Amino acid sequence: MALNTIALELVPPNVDRGAAWAVDEAHKVLQLAVDAGIEGRIRHVMIPGMIEEDDDRPIEMKPKLDVLEYWSIIRPELPDMNGLCTQVTSFLDQSALQARLGELRDAGFDGIAFVGVPRTMADGEGVGVAPTDALSMYEALVPNRGAILIPTREAEQGRFSFKCDQGATYGMTQLLYSDAIVGFLTEFAETTEHRPEILLSFGFVPKMETNVGLINWLIQDPGNAAVAAEQAFVKELAAADPADKRKRMIDLYKRVIDGVGDLGFPLSIHFEATYGVSRPAFETFAEMLAYWAPDRP
């Protein structure tokens, strides 16, 4: 069954911030939703499992709360929301991963996207279970099994098709800063019979991106001209005045929705405020949902 949801990504906070900070963040989400006119419409919180990556990460990676620990703190504050998450599989053996997935399911996670090693390592490295193996191995345990979809990545058609062959029920896109997903899914629909649910991911770009560059770092793919164009768009958004920024993001959202809406894929929306939730981010998300939303098609 499709998730058919609007999800908001919340990154586990640094351990040193404590539980009170996490509770305050959950309350802020609820208030911003009310103020933006989308109260009660966010149905899932998407919590990424964080792992250390390259040393050049623009914001230092400090010890963070575990996904389950963070969820246990904020879930009572968000009673009408369930969880989605990403789970790194490559460092857990089969029995340890099975136990972990059972805990996530029992804690209220409706969907789990399996991810592999950080970009500093090659596919297949790690002593644990490969994400593509996990998709088939835990079919009975995790009904909604996700895979990451990066439409600008080389050979992604074959990669994503294989993940669907292995049992992926949904694909969660990397942050979309172009309409490349339209061409990708158009070709995918023409060449395969797979119709997984697609969580379309859109991220707000605040002015501080100009000086920090975290989004630029997150979407990087050196030598990829399509990604370079997306990075340029992010840079333009960061420098734009609020009204122009919102218009350009809404225009992108409309192009994507109009382009993929009739291809036969169930669609959900995933929002991310990379630098933390804010009023401008929620106002932008609300305007996107006013154009199209899975709960009001």
Residues 232-282: pLDDT tens digits?
999 999 999 999 999 999 999 999 999 999 999 999 999 999 999 999 999
Q: What is the pLDDT of residue 29?
A: 98
In this prediction, residue 186 has a pLDDT band, given cuts at 50, 70 and 90, of very high
Contact 73, 22 (CB under 8 A): yes
Cα angle 124, 128, 130; round to 5: 45
pLDDT in tens, 47-93: 999 876 556 789 888 899 999 999 999 999 999 999 999 999 988 99
State which amino acid sits at residue 241: D
Q: What is the pLDDT of residue 50?
A: 81
pLDDT over 90 for what percent of the chain?
A: 90
Query: What's the CA gap between 250 and 190, in Å, rounded?
Result: 27
In this prediction, residue 107 has a pLDDT band, given cuts at 50, 70 and 90, of very high
Our CA dihedral for 134, 139, 142, 145, rounded to 10 degrees, sits at 60
Q: What is the pLDDT of residue 11?
A: 96
Q: Give the residue among 57, 52, 15, 42 at the shortest CA–CA distance from 212.
A: 57
Q: What is the pLDDT of residue 72?
A: 98
Q: Look up the pTM and report it.
A: 0.96
Question: Does the pLDDT of residue 118 top 80, yes or no?
Answer: no
Q: Give the residue among 230, 238, 239, 225 at the shortest CA–CA distance from 275.
A: 238
pLDDT in tens, 2-51: 999 999 999 999 999 999 999 999 999 999 999 999 999 999 999 999 87
pLDDT in tens, 213-238: 999 999 999 999 999 999 999 999 99
Q: What is the pLDDT of residue 1?
A: 78
Q: What is the pLDDT of residue 49?
A: 93
Question: 101-106: long-range contacts at Cβ-Cβ below 8 A with a sequence spacing of 24 or more?
Answer: 101/138, 101/141, 101/142, 102/141, 103/68, 104/67, 104/68, 105/141, 105/142
Query: What's the CA gap between 32 and 277, in Å, rounded?
Result: 8
Q: Give the helix ranges, DSSP H, for 121-268.
A: 131-137, 156-166, 180-191, 209-212, 214-218, 225-239, 242-260
Question: Does the pLDDT of residue 121 top 70, yes or no?
Answer: no
Query: What's the CA gap between 292 and 158, in Å, rounded?
Result: 30
